[in-house]
Structure 1
């Protein structure tokens, strides 16, 4: 069994409040959870309104399907014009 995670630190330049930030984050998390076999959550910078840290996690019997699911999740994240990925870190277990 392979567990893969990708942690992304992101910037939300147009967010003017925590409410703006949370609406963007919630839409991304909902879209990823509905479309993919991936768990995701906001894990950092929860009290800062123009910065966030998201994690996406997937589990499978081999590395290739996990990697594909995580890449699809990153495409959904990158497809949102309101958020920009600043750094990305992969971890494999």
Structure 2
């Protein structure tokens, strides 16, 4: 377990709740990119797979938490896109 990996995941993870809240409340896609969210999602999946196959430790749960938050933000992006096209 690397303290630097933990710090990185906590710092990145700290930003997602604010992004999710903004997406939920604004019902807008302004300032968001589905491509970016998808790339970040792939990064977290790769981190989880690395932990599972090569170096399993409890840090995998931080990857999973971040993955869930990014997936939720991507879901909200798609919802907001739909709302925008219905107007």
Give the TM-score category using the shorter length: 0.3 to 0.5
Q: Which has more radius of gyration?
A: 2
TM-score by length of 1: 0.31
Higher helix share: 2
TM-score by length of 2: 0.32
Higher strand share: 1
